[in-house]
Chain A
Amino acid sequence: MEISLEVQVGGYTERVVLEVEDLNYGLPGRSLLAGVRLSVAAGESVAVTGASGSGKTTLLTCILGLVEPDAGSVRIAGVDQGGLSSRELARHRRENVGMVFQFGELLPELSPLENVALAGLLAGKKTGEAYARAAELLDELGVPAEGSATATLSGGERQRTAVARALMNDPALLLADEPTGSLDPTHRDAVAELLYSVPRQRDCALLVVTHDVSVAQRADRRVRLDGGRLAAGAEGAEMGEGA
């Protein structure tokens, strides 16, 4: 069941894309997420920070629907993922979620253009449309589309290709898991700037998981995952929604 969530904030209507409520997830003898609450609106970026092993990636995995939480709900674009079959979940993810992984997770033998277009082809886009859109995205992000295999790109180029791939299907929600974790400072700044420009340009929500404070600081809001709960980031003025 799809519900449109529109919240009145500061005099204008804000469309909530991601809404996490009371999320619990644990491993035997250890609680990773304990009543996590978080919402991200379209055009907004939120950074989740936390120490290594604090459960940041687990939170992303729950949002992606790859693991079933012990309790709580994840709602993306108004749809509660808990009630979806695996087929429906896959389709919902394809239509609404894009993700940038720490190491890009691109196919090294393919060209950047092919890597990006592949996401569109697998999502059912027509061949011409997929390649045209991929070329357009790569051009926007300043990555050479052809001429060499992805394996031969620099780390920054690979991550920008990964961003292009994540945007290929115009997702409502863009997730990024340590997107700059493997980059040097110059490339880190470039990729971070690119990522944080996406929500406003494409009217999507961005959730970045990072332990890099300088990257987190660029977000509209910062929250910190600690002891399984989200709290406002140490340096942030805004409060994260969480326990």
Chain B
Amino acid sequence: MGRATALAAEAGRVRFWALVLATSLLSLAASGLVLASASFDARAERSVARSPRLIAAHPRETPRALWAPTTSSIGNMAFDVVYIEPIGDDAPLPPGLSHWPDPGEAVLSPALLKADGSDGVSQQFGRFGGVIGPAGLEAPAERFVYVRPSVKMLDRSKMFEISGFGAEASAGFVGESIHNFGAQKFYAGYAGLILLPAALLVVIAARVGAAARDRRTALLGALGAGRRVRLAFTLGEAALPVAFGAGIAALGASIPLVLDSSYPLVEFVLSKEDARDAWPELLLCLTGVPIAVLFLAIVLQPGHRRSGGTRPTHVSGRRAWIPWVFPFALLVTVRGAELVPLEFRIPVYATGCIVVLATLPAVIGAGVGWLGPLMASIGRRVGAPGLLVSGRRLGVGSRSVSRLVASMVIAIGLAAQTQLWTGVFGEFTQSAMETQKRVGTTVLRATPYAVGDRVRDFESELPSGALPLGVRQTGDRVEIVGDCAALREIGLPCSKTSVRISASGGDVRLREILSRTGVAQGARGYARRGALSQVGAGKGGSLTLLIVGQGRRQLSVPEIQGIAGRSLAMKASVRPLGDLSDTGKLVTATTWVRLMSLVGVGVIGLAAGTSAMAEFLRFGRELAPLSVLTGSRRIFRSVAMWSLFMPAVLAAVFGVLVAWWLATPLTSTSVATPTSMAPITIGALVCALGLASWGAHAAVRAAGMWTPSSD
């Protein structure tokens, strides 16, 4: 019988499809977590399998190879470069390699080979010696390279002795997780941005058309139906859509079992092998989530209550304490987080944010409930039927409006937190990006500053138009050394003796060099003509090798890197002055957060839309008789404006203000100003307007289909 009433009941179809959608989305979201977890586990396993067994950690084992990690980059994404050298003929191979590369050869991951393009990145490490197999990579999309140094560049002193591969203790020295979004951050973001909105959608879907079902439960109770019968009714109603949703989710979740799944925007590939390993958990998830949804549908269906009278009572008295939690939660989150020890700050802040966002809808609901009678009074005085009806409806506490407001507040909270975190990440990368924008690759920095012969070799191999300079820093003294062509290229005098230079040099490249060597910050700067191979760091000093493009020419990083690797040192590194490789991780984190919040806000939008749709179908049916007799449809629009748009505007305004205040502990910069949240506010208002229009349209349609029924 419950199944039969599912579609026939008020808003029955909306609830049916809302439950289908909610079950499938929550199942897919949970499956995504299971698959991601399996992927992270498999990555961790492969990471352990290729981690070196360091002799320092295992002193009783025999050294059989040498191993040294470093990093390089393509664009702003860093990746691992591992130098390996066998000791003896029976040196164990790293996983994923079929043979030891010859001296001077590099074995690349397929993703690195693919990303190489015309940059010739692979050439900078040596001759191409093959491709790393899947067993040697954490993930199919990982960029990774094994390099066997040439005989000339082999530097045993810079390498670790190892007995083989497969050591848990040294896992994490290298790996995609260092340069990409790590598992813990992924889980935290996923839980907040995807699972929470999907769960919210389930709650809203379960309560769509609640008024009619609550009446039916009361009727069943009055007819003497026990808890078991009511349970069977509720289950009967929800079982079919939940099963349908589970079926859709099962289809969706089976795709990663047969295909490598590439996530959009974030360069994350879920391998089908990893996904298949997780099939028991996946099965558990695809059956457990629908059962949980059914359980929730039962829990959220209130039982038959004995009331004090025969007349209806309104619901505003229930859970009236919730709004009072809000101010305390806000205060504790914004001010309290500063008072707790550093390690607890983020957990306290995150928990506070959740409590604030969870209780704000109740505050807005209470405010709207208080405004309702006032609106009705004004509507009555000025003869505005829409304002009158909305005011009365809001005054008795509309649960669906509360659900709509809750959806909007959570969406705004998510969007604001996303903007905040991406803004914080952006601040870190901003400086490097600005430098790169100004100087690009016209100035490169090469490390290490090797011994004289090697620097000479490096200089001699540089292409024409690439001019080397040395920077020696001792205490607060900075000296730039080079030949006249190099010095004059960046506007410095060419003198055999040191000449004091000012930080406000005319050449943009010089200004960048001076700002990065401390001269702009107060150190004394000098310039002199001299041979780079003869420059010594001196006691407590440091040397930096720069390469300047003649006539502001953009230099090829891979080309210079290749030369540095062949002449300067085994682990030589060449990077632009405004190096973005360290920012790639933040950019990736930003992209992940954006991707997940996009999904989350989308799901919440569905929840808000479902809630508004169901409410207005009911409202349309309620007002249909009157609108038919009076021939007026305007009331649907005016009621939609007052009872959907107005609370949504309040939710948008208060949501943004609260989100802005919540952001203050994390940053004091422009990302957290109310004006910077204008796009979110405008977006929320446009959504609110869209929802109200949709609601009015749904009500008009529901009214249009109404005919009297009796008997």
- Please list the residues of chain A having a beta carbon within 8 angstroms of any beta carbon in chain B: 52-53, 56-57, 60-61, 64, 66-67, 87, 89-91, 93-94, 97-99, 101-102, 105, 107-110, 114, 118-119, 121-123, 126-127, 130-131, 149, 151-152, 165-166, 169, 177-178, 181, 209, 211
Given A119-B630, A122-B630, A151-B312, A110 contacting B711 (CB threshold 8 A)? no
Given contacts A90-B631, A101-B625, A108-B312, 5 further A-B contacts (CB under 8 A): A57-B709, A101-B708, A107-B626, A110-B389, A151-B311
**Residue of B at shortest CB range from A64?**
B628
Q: Is the interface of B mostly helix, strand, loop or mixed?
A: helix
Collect the chain B residues with CB atoms within 8 Å of residue A89's CB.
Answer: 631
Which residue of B381, B393, B627 contacts A109 across the interface (Cβ within 8 Å)?
Answer: B393
Which residue of A56, A61, A121, A123 contacts B707 across the interface (Cβ within 8 Å)?
Answer: A61
Which residue of A93, A149, A151 contacts B628 across the interface (Cβ within 8 Å)?
Answer: A93
Which residue of A66, A101, A121, A149 contacts B385 across the interface (Cβ within 8 Å)?
Answer: A121
Interface residue range, chain B: 20 to 34
Which residue of B312, B380, B389, B706 contacts A107 across the interface (Cβ within 8 Å)?
Answer: B389
* Contact A127–B382 (Cβ < 8 Å): yes
Report 29 cross-chain contacts, Cβ distance below 8 Å, ordered by A residue. Answer: A56-B710, A57-B707, A61-B708, A66-B707, A87-B631, A94-B629, A99-B625, A101-B625, A102-B708, A105-B626, A107-B622, A108-B312, A109-B393, A109-B395, A110-B388, A114-B380, A118-B389, A118-B626, A121-B385, A122-B385, A122-B626, A122-B630, A123-B632, A149-B396, A152-B312, A169-B630, A178-B710, A209-B710, A211-B711
Q: Does B541 touch A at the CB level, under 8 Å?
A: no
* Contact A94–B707 (Cβ < 8 Å): no
Q: Does B623 touch A at the CB level, under 8 Å?
A: yes
**Residue of B at shortest CB range from A152?**
B311
Closest Cβ–Cβ distance, residue A77 to chain B (whole Å): 15
Most chain B beta carbons < 10 A, residue from A60, A102, A110, A151: A110
Roughly how many angstroms separate A2 CA and B622 CA in the complex, as a whole number?
Answer: 33
* Contact A127–B625 (Cβ < 8 Å): no
Most chain A beta carbons < 10 A, residue from B311, B628, B706: B628
**Residue of A at shortest CB range from B619?**
A107
Q: Does B213 touch A at the CB level, under 8 Å?
A: no
Collect the chain B residues with CB atoms within 8 Å of residue A131's CB.
Answer: 380
**Residue of B at shortest CB range from A105?**
B625
Roughly how many angstroms separate A149 CA and B627 CA in the complex, as a whole number?
Answer: 20
Collect the chain B residues with CB atoms within 8 Å of residue A57's CB.
Answer: 707-711
Q: Does B601 touch A at the CB level, under 8 Å?
A: no
Roughly how many angstroms separate A91 CA and B632 CA in the complex, as a whole number?
Answer: 9
Roughly how many angstroms separate A149 CA and B312 CA in the complex, as a whole number?
Answer: 10
Roughly how many angstroms separate A141 CA and B516 CA in the complex, as a whole number?
Answer: 90
**Residue of A at shortest CB range from B388?**
A114
Given A107-B389, A109-B393, A119 contacting B626 (CB threshold 8 A)? yes
Given A66-B707, A107-B622, A110-B389, A119 contacting B629 (CB threshold 8 A)? yes
Given A57-B710, A107-B392, A98 contacting B629 (CB threshold 8 A)? yes
